[in-house]
Chain A
C-alpha cells in the first residue's frame, strides 16, 4: 500500500550527474498566440472587451515587470515566451535530461478562475495546458508539462483526463493547483482530483503564489517582498489538512510535489504535526499513523529558492536535518527559470556536496517521481566519473 516502492524509472549511471529541472516557467499571456490560438473566439473577444475579471494585478508591483532575471528577456522584450531561448539559457548549458513546465500564471491571471464566467475560466485553463504541450513540449523533447486545474471550479478531473488521454498525454507528468483556495485541501470537493492523480499515477503539485483566497490567515500583505518572505506560510496550512483529513489513507498512492515552497521548514514542522497529534489524537481516531510518517511518504520538495542560512557552514546542518529526518530522496533540483531568484544546479547543489547527494537532488529523485529516465551521458560532469 505504500508508495515508497515507486517503480523506479531507469536511471542512467555513468560519468554524468543527470539533471531534471522540476520548476520551469512558460509565461505567455492569454493574448499571445500560443495561448490565444486555443481559445474559442467568443472568449478572445470577451477578454479584449472586458479584461480578465477583477484581477488587475500589480497591487504590490514586483521589482521587475515579469519578476524575471533581466537576461531572460527575448528580442521582443518578453519573458517566458520562447522555448528555444529557454533551452539555450538553461537546458543546453546544463545538459539537462528534462524540465518540468509549471505555469502558475494560469491561476494567477485568472485569480483561480473565481471572478470570471465559468466557461472563460475553464477555456483559459485548457488553452494554457494546450500551449504547454503544443508550443513547448513540441519545441523540445526534453520538456514535460503540468496539467493546471482550477482548484475551486468543478471538472478538474475531466481536464486531467483530457490532457492525459490526448495526443500529448505522455508529456503531462503532473497536475498543478494553487496552494490556496476556498477550502483546505483535504476536503471532499478535491477528492476527484486526487483520484485522477492516482489513476494516471502522476503527482499533484502546488506552486506559489496562492490564489483564490487571502494569502494569510490574517489579511493581505502590502509588499511583494513580504509575500515572498512568507511563501513558507502556504504549506503550513496545506499540509495539515491533507494529513489530518485522512486523505492518504483513502488515496494511498497520492504523491504531492511542493514547488517553490521551501523545504528547510519541513523537519521542524513535522515535529509540530506530531506534537499536535499526540495531544489531540482523541479528535483524530481515523489517522492510522503519526503525521510525520505521512509527510515522509507522500511529499516531495524542490530546491529553489536556495536556502541561505546566516552562515555558510550552517548549510550542511540544514541538509543533514532534512536527510536524517527521512527526506533524502524527496528533494528535487528546480531553477524557477526565468524568475529573478533563479538558481542554477551549481548554486542549489554545490560541487562541494557529497556526490551521492548531488546525484539524488539533481536528477534521480525527480526521475523516480515523474518516471522520466535520465539520459545516458547527459548532465553535469561527475567528479568521480570517468
Chain B
C-alpha cells in the first residue's frame, strides 16, 4: 500500500460507476475535478476519452462511434470492425478510441484517451479507503458513488495513458459554455 499512501492527497484513479451501469454499447460522461471524460463500453471493453476535441474543442465524447473505413482504390471499400473510432460531433474528425490518434493526422493530432478498467468491489473498496482511488459525483444522480464489495466497478485512471501521448491543446479557445453546460447522460 506504499503507492496508495503516496497518492493519498491527490487520487489519480476514480470510481465512475458500477459496471452494469455502463452496459455494452453505452457511454457515460463524467466530471473529474472539472475535466469531463467520456467512458465508453464497446462490446465489453471500456475506454475513456477527454470530452474535448483537439481540433477546436468540440465535445468529443458526444460523437458517434464508428469503425474504420478504408479503400486502396475506388470501388473497394473495407469496413474494419476491430478498429473503433470516435468522431467529433462537430467537424466529424475521427479519433482512435484506444490511442486518441487522429485518423487524418496521426503524427501530430491526438485526442486524450484514458485507461478504464473494471475492478472488483473488494479491491476498489480497499483502494478508496486507502485514498488512492477517488470517488466522484455520480453524473446522473447527484450523489457520490458508494462502493460495496459485492459489485464490480468501472475505474478511470487519469494518469497519462502513455508517456508523451498527451493530447495537444485545441488550436483556439473553446466556446465558453458549450462544454460546461452539457447534458450528461447514459446513452444507449
Q: Mark B2-19, 1 if CB is under 8 A from A, else 0.
A: 000000000000000000
Closest to A93 in B: B177
Closest to A70 in B: B89
A70 touches B64 (CB 8 A): yes
Asked whether A344 and B175 contact (CB < 8 A) given A63-B92, A71-B89, the answer is yes
Residues of A contacting B: mostly:
loop
Closest to A352 in B: B172
Asked whether A340 and B182 contact (CB < 8 A) given A70-B62, A347-B172, A351-B173, the answer is no
Q: Does A118 contact B (CB under 8 A)?
A: no
B56 touches A347 (CB 8 A): yes
Asked whether A70 and B175 contact (CB < 8 A) given A63-B92, A340-B90, the answer is no
How many residue pairs bridge A and B at CB < 8 Å?
44
Contacts of B92 in A (CB 8 A): 63-64, 340
A344 smallest CB distance to B (angstroms): 4
Contacts of A341 in B (CB 8 A): 90-91
Complex Cα gap A71–B89 (Å): 7
Q: Does A89 contact B (CB under 8 A)?
A: yes
Closest to A349 in B: B172
Asked whether A69 and B89 contact (CB < 8 A) given A89-B178, A93-B177, A93-B178, the answer is yes
A71 touches B172 (CB 8 A): no
Q: Mark A243-266, 1 if CB is under 8 A from B, else 0.
A: 000000000000000000000000
B90 touches A342 (CB 8 A): yes
Complex Cα gap A346–B90 (Å): 15
Q: Does B54 contact A (CB under 8 A)?
A: no
B139 smallest CB distance to A (angstroms): 17
Contacts of B131 in A (CB 8 A): none
A76 smallest CB distance to B (angstroms): 15
Contacts of B89 in A (CB 8 A): 69-71
Contacts of A89 in B (CB 8 A): 178
A53 smallest CB distance to B (angstroms): 30
Closest to A341 in B: B91
B90 touches A69 (CB 8 A): yes
Complex Cα gap A93–B178 (Å): 8
Complex Cα gap A46–B33 (Å): 56
Q: Does A14 contact B (CB under 8 A)?
A: no
Q: Does B59 contact A (CB under 8 A)?
A: yes
Closest to A95 in B: B176
Closest to B182 in A: A71
Complex Cα gap A344–B64 (Å): 21
Tell me the residues in window 76-117 of chain B with beta carbons closer than 8 Å to chain A beta carbons.
89-92
B56 smallest CB distance to A (angstroms): 5
Closest to A63 in B: B92
Tell me the residues in window 146-188 of chain B with beta carbons closer than 8 Å to chain A beta carbons.
171-178, 182
Please tell me which one of the listed residues A64, A71, A343, A346 contacts residue B174 in the complex, with CB atoms under 8 A apart: A346
Complex Cα gap A325–B58 (Å): 34
A311 smallest CB distance to B (angstroms): 12
Q: Does A312 contact B (CB under 8 A)?
A: yes
Q: Does B63 contact A (CB under 8 A)?
A: yes
Complex Cα gap A344–B177 (Å): 11
B62 touches A312 (CB 8 A): no
A93 touches B90 (CB 8 A): no
A20 smallest CB distance to B (angstroms): 17
Contacts of A64 in B (CB 8 A): 92
Contacts of A24 in B (CB 8 A): none
Complex Cα gap A239–B139 (Å): 53
B5 smallest CB distance to A (angstroms): 42
Report which residue of B89, B90, B92, B176 has the largest number of chain A beta carbons within 10 angstroms of its beta carbon: B90
Complex Cα gap A209–B90 (Å): 20
A88 smallest CB distance to B (angstroms): 8
Q: Does A301 contact B (CB under 8 A)?
A: no
Complex Cα gap A86–B176 (Å): 16
Complex Cα gap A383–B178 (Å): 21
Provide 23 A-B residue pairs closer than 8 Å at the C-beta atoms, listed in order of the A residue: A63-B92, A64-B92, A69-B58, A69-B90, A70-B63, A70-B90, A71-B59, A71-B62, A71-B90, A71-B178, A71-B182, A94-B175, A94-B176, A340-B91, A340-B92, A342-B90, A344-B56, A344-B178, A346-B172, A346-B174, A346-B175, A347-B56, A347-B172
- Which 8 A-B pairs rank lowest in CB-CB distance, beginning with the nearest? A70-B89, A93-B177, A344-B175, A346-B173, A69-B90, A347-B172, A347-B56, A71-B89
16 A-B pairs besides A69-B58, A350-B172 with CB distance below 8 A are: A69-B89, A69-B90, A70-B62, A70-B63, A70-B64, A71-B62, A71-B89, A93-B177, A93-B178, A340-B90, A340-B92, A344-B178, A346-B172, A347-B56, A347-B172, A350-B173
Chain B residues with a Cβ under 8 A of chain A: 56, 58-59, 62-64, 89-92, 171-178, 182
